[in-house]
């Protein structure tokens, strides 16, 4: 699918995505990358400039939003301020012409489900952010849609509440067996909740995989950089031996890496190494070097060292704060090393 708002540039360039029934799929990407636009096309509020959308095998491009039967949770909840919580929840049931008794029953069940029973008579403005969030969730679920779309639903909550709600949404998804398409720009949220994550940038899906693959096996530099912390070393491919490439780094030294997404001999590449995969000492013979400690940040359970490695002053090491580990001091030069498998040669 493609989408353009102004006829000049494509906001969504090449979206080709199949979502399984009962899946929790997250669209993750920086702000402005076209996530909301994708969701709006799915919900029917924006028309696709090119391409088709199928729901359960049925093309829905020409079906208006209110006939698609897709539940939706908006970023600012969009709870109707002139209705009580009960009326808000009963709204989708009323437009479906359900009887009064049935409506009340379903509203009660839905509020029970999000632990908001007893709040029927309140107005949305009399609820806290977390409570509003729950009501919005209940309202999207009360008419039992198969597919629920959520556009940064936790964006307005504080950290603790957000983490709590992440688990509740996840549990609801598991219990009800619904399909969820979830939009966020928060990578940790995406990693904790999703079955699969589609990383978005510039209107293109950069990588679509499950959370651990995404973190441990990023396929390009954008994903490696966007998900978690990442050390980058740039260089040129010298020689390619099947899955292993030899790299001449820009400071003149040599290194070996896993060929993931790099060209042949002579092409530029960036090596990606996770900070927690770098170890002290030279036990791994393949990639050993020295690093000068520039900065030390105490983070409680672990310590974060910023070092100058191969000419890169932003090389980060993350060491557990245990008694076995010797503590480094600023200015000290330490022996460090990493495994070839943990060093991925990606596009630049």
Partner 1 sequence: MPDMAEPILAADGTPLKKKLGQALFRSRLSAFGLVVPLLAFVVVSFIVPIIALLWQGVYDKRFAVLMPNTSAALSDWSGVSEPTEEMYSALVADLVVARKEKTIGRVATRVNRELSGMRSLFTSTARKAAELEAPYKDALIAVQKTWGELETWQAMKIASRVYTPGYLLASLDFKLNADGSIVRQDENRRIHVKLFLRTLEISMVVTIACLLLGYPIAYLLASLPLRTSNLLLVLVLLPFWTSLLVRTTAWIAMLQSQGIMNDLFVAFGVTSDDDRFSLIYNKTGSLIAMTHILLPFMILPLFSVMKAIPPSYVRAAKSMGASDWTAFWRVYFPQSVAGIGAGVLLVFILAIGYYITPALVGGQDGQMISNIIDFHMRKSLNWNLAAAIGLVLLVIVLLLFWVYDRVVGIDNIKLG
Ligand X SMILES: Nc1ncnc2c1ncn2[C@@H]1O[C@H](COP(=O)(O)OP(=O)(O)O)[C@@H](O)[C@H]1O
- Choice from 22, 69, 155, 263 touching partner 1 (CB under 8 A): 69
Verify binding: residue 237, partner 1, rule CB under 8 A: no
Indicate whether 45 belongs to the interface with ligand X (CB under 6 A).
no
Question: Is residue 14 a contact point for ligand X (CB under 6 A)?
Answer: no
Tokens representing 242? 């099947």
Q: Which is nearer to ligand X, 9 or 323 (CB)?
A: 9
72 touches partner 1 by CB under 8 A: yes
DSSP-derived letter for residue 83 is S
Distance CA 271, CA 266 (A): 15
In the complex with partner 1, which residue's Cβ is closer, 157 or 317? 157
Nearest to 307 by CA among 280, 345, 286, 285: 280
Contact, 204 vs 14, CB < 8 A?
Answer: yes
Q: For 132-148, b where at least 16 C-beta lie within 10 A, e where not — what string? A: bbbbbbbbbbbbebebb
Binding status of residue 36 toward Mg ion by CB under 5 A: yes
* 325 interacts with partner 1 by CB under 8 A: no
Q: Does 235 bind ligand X (CB under 6 A)?
A: no
Using rule CB under 5 A, residue 201 touches Mg ion: no
Sign of CA dihedral 145, 146, 147, 148: positive
Among 8, 16, 31, 324, binds ligand X (CB under 6 A): 31
CB 245, CB 239: distance < 8 Å: yes
With contacts defined by CB under 8 A, name the span among 14-22, 66-74, 122-130, 181-189 that binds partner 1.
66-74
Rank residues 31 and 62 by Cβ distance to ligand X and give the closer one: 31
Q: Are 290 and 346 in contact (CB under 8 A)?
A: no
Q: Which of 24, 25, 28, 34 binds ligand X (CB under 6 A)?
A: 34
Does residue 11 interact with ligand X by CB under 6 A?
Answer: yes
State which residue, 34 or 71, has the beta carbon closest to Mg ion.
34
DSSP 323-337: TTSPPP-TT-EEEEE
Length of the chain: 348
Residues contributing to the site for partner 1 (CB under 8 A): 43-45, 64-72, 74-76, 78, 80-82, 91-92, 95-96, 139-140, 143, 149
**Residues of this chain that bind Mg ion (CB under 5 A):** 36
């Amino acid at each position: 699918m493609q989408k353009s708002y102004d006829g000049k540039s494509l906001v969504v360039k090449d979206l080709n995505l199949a979502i399984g029934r009962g899946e929790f799929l997250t669209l993750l990407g920086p702000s402005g990358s076209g996530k909301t636009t994708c969701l709006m096309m799915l919900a029917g509020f924006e028309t696709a400039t090119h391409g088709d959308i199928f729901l359960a095998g049925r093309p829905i491009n020409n079906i208006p939003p209110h006939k698609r039967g897709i539940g939706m949770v908006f970023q600012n909840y969009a709870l109707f301020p002139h209705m009580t919580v009960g009326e808000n929840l009963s709204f989708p049931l009323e437009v479906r012409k359900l009887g009064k008794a049935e409506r009340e029953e379903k509203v009660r069940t839905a509020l029970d489900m999000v632990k908001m029973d007893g709040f029927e008579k309140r107005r949305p403005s009399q609820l806290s952010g977390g409570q509003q969030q729950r009501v919005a969730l209940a309202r999207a679920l009360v008419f039992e849609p198969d597919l629920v779309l959520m556009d940064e639903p936790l964006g307005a909550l504080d950290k603790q509440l957000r983490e709590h709600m992440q688990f509740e949404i996840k549990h609801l998804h598991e219990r009800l067996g619904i399909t969820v398409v979830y939009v966020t720009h928060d990578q940790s949220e995406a990693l904790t909740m999703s079955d699969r994550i589609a990383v978005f940038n510039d209107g293109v899906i950069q990588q679509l995989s499950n959370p651990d693959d995404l973190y441990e096996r990023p396929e390009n530099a954008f994903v490696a950089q966007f998900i978690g912390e990442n050390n980058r070393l740039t260089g040129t491919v010298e020689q390619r031996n099947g899955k292993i490439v030899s790299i001449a780094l820009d400071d003149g030294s040599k290194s070996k890496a896993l060929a993931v997404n790099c060209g042949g001999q002579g092409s530029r590449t960036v090596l990606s190494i996770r900070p927690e995969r770098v170890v002290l000492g030279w036990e791994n013979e393949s990639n050993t070097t020295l690093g000068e400690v520039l900065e030390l940040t105490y983070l409680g359970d672990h310590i974060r060292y910023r070092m100058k490695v191969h000419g890169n002053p932003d090389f980060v090491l993350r060491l557990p704060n245990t008694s076995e580990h010797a503590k480094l001091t600023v200015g000290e030069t330490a022996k460090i090393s990493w495994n070839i498998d943990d060093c991925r040669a990606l596009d630049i």
